Amino acid sequence: MAEKLLEVQNLKQYFNSGKSNMVKAVDNISFDIFKGETLGLVGESGCGKSTTGRTIIRLYEATEGNVLFNGENVHGKKSKKELKQFNRKMQMIFQDPSASLNSKMKVSDVIAEGIDIHGLAKSKKDRMERVYELLETVGLNREHANRYPHEFSGGQRQRIGIARALAVEPDFIIADEPISALDVSIQAQVVNLMKKLQKEKGLTYLFIAHDLSMVKYISDRIGVMYFGKLVELTTAEELYRNPIHPYTQSLLSAIPLPDPDYERTRVRKTYDPSKHKVQPGEEMEFREVKPGHFVMCSKEEFENYQKQYTATV
């Protein structure tokens, strides 16, 4: 059985907006990520997926709940030494490479920042050799080390961001919409690079995106978020073959295919949350409809989903 690397338990991230308005950006979600896998997290803009990633890595302090990384609680009181060790083992690749790279620093210094903080280089020569090796690992040249971020294309800047994340030899990387700011022709190159690095270095990813087709390509399992809630979680193949939650079905129905005949007859499904039936005093729960396939549903919906599953077995 695969070993758990990350456990998210009843995580909440609430923000105050005005005097009495509370925004429930992440509302009581739970999931695990296993060593060596990629968990994709998808949903519309504003659903809370990026906030989930930023809370996991402690850019935000959790309102409630626990995040366990290698069995240790990420949040709560930590010493500087503990935080430093945690920051080395968990890194983030950001959505906009232009904004996430310091424009006043040379690429060599951008990449080596983590190396310097954690004292990973034995000498200046060792430091530069590490930088050169990282540049070549992400498909760039050692000559690029003396340039500045603005001298590169968007795809190249994202490769620099990946090199920076790899510099401290992390176990886990949160990729927060890492390809959404890139041209379509470049997106596949970056995703293929991430898959290659994962295989070579045994990395574990949380891949956050809204492009379901690309998420399917890179992910082992996929979680679907809607207004701060995790509404469905299963393997990538199962999610596409048998989406259960109506919101997931609506997302998948919106994916265009390069097939004129299909596009002429494609029917887009719309999601109406008011159609969920909940008995008085009952709350929607995240339930395992079939092995490994979890859905946010009421008790009545759960029973109906199970009947449908049993009928197909």
Query: Domains of the chain (ranges plus CATH)?
Result: 4-242 (3.40.50.300)
List, in sequence order, every residue forming a beta bridge with 21; answer none if it has no partner. Answer: 17
Mean per-residue pLDDT of the chain? 91
- pTM, full prediction: 0.92
CA 91/CA 174 separation, integer angstroms? 6
Crossing angle for the helix pair 154-166 and 124-137, to the nearest 10 degrees: 130
| pLDDT (tens digit per residue) in 137-161 | 999 999 999 999 999 998 999 999 9
- Checking if the pLDDT of 313 tops 70, the result is no
Band of pLDDT at residue 19, cut at 50, 70 and 90: low
For 32, residues 6+ apart whose C-beta sits below 8 A from its C-beta are 4, 6, 7, 8
User: Please, are residues 191 and 218 in contact by the beta-carbon 8 Å criterion?
Assistant: yes
Q: What is the pLDDT of residue 92?
A: 95
Residue 289, pLDDT score: 94
CA distances to 23, 115, 122, 172 from 126, rounded to whole Å, are: 48, 10, 6, 24
Q: Which two tokens stand for residue 117?
A: 């903080």
Give the contacts of 37 (CB within 8 A, at least 6 positions apart): 2, 204, 205, 220, 221
Q: Which of 82-96, 116-130, 271-285 has the highest mean pLDDT?
A: 116-130
Q: Is the pLDDT of residue 218 over 70?
A: yes
- pLDDT at res. 10: 96
- pLDDT for 73 equals 92
In the predicted model, is pLDDT for residue 88 greater than 70? yes
What is the pLDDT averaged over residues 107-136?
95
